[in-house]
Amino acid sequence: MNVYAIGDLHLPGGDCKPMDVFGAHWEGHFDKIRRDWKSKVGPEDVVLIPGDISWAMKMEEALADLKAIGELPGRIILLRGNHDYWWCGITKLRELLPPGMYAVQNDAMRMEDTVFCGTRGWTLPGPGSPAEDEKIYSRELQRMEMSLEKAKALGGDRLVVMCHYPPLGEGGAETRLSQLLDRYRPDDVVYGHLHGASLRGAVTGEIHGIRYHCVSCDGLNFQVYRLP
């Protein structure tokens, strides 16, 4: 079983929202992703999508995007991003997902000997940040710990954590989230959220024995990324 990841698909959500307004390289981006995905991913492989899946505002508007993703090979695990306003209650969402597609929300799941878990995360609060950022960030820390505890209970030989927001600070600086991850020692952490010029600050590589991977699709040239 290979594990792949690609985030921030930003599918149109029924509105045919053109992504090339963010640069010509986004033109036909899902066609590029689809071609590459089909060339690499087998039916028993896993593909992680850590958020910003669809621009849809309501679940019924996102169904066509989920169906399009669900037609691709592999077992697909979704995580909510900051733009996934369509993401409804997790029980209802899981009932509506296509076969072979799963959603993680403050919990964990095991496939063969690998356990997957995670939560969205949030903007790292700093001096002058709105009080709301601190409140949301603290809540996401609680959710991540809950997710990691559930992952621990599932056992397995490998632990892969999904975030949407970067878990590390600038230049790989420690954060409260990365300190929490250090306590549980996952093998890999995948995240997205960054685009364009901000990708230059993305942290990819091993820190404290944990491999970090930024998998925003434009940073991957719209190709699925295979975890080592």
pLDDT band for position 196 (50/70/90)? confident
pLDDT band for position 16 (50/70/90)? low
Please tell me the pTM assigned to this model. Answer: 0.95
Average pLDDT estimate for 18-45: 87
pLDDT band for position 158 (50/70/90)? very high
Q: In the predicted model, is pLDDT for residue 75 greater than 70?
A: yes
Q: What is the SS3 assignment for the chain?
A: CCEEECECCCECCCCCCCHHHHCHHHCCHHHHHHHHHHHHCCCCCEEEEECCCECCCCHHHHHHHHHHHHCCCCEEEEECCCCCCCCCCHHHHHHHCCCCEEECCCCEEEECCEEEEECCCCCCCCCCCCHHHHHHHHHHHHHHHHHHHHHHHHCCCEEEEECCCCCCCHHHCCCHHHHHHHHHCCCEEEECCCCHHHHHHCCCEEECCEEEEECEHHHHCCCCEECC
90-123 pLDDT, tens digit per residue, is 999 999 999 999 999 999 999 999 999 999 999 9
pLDDT score, position 22: 62
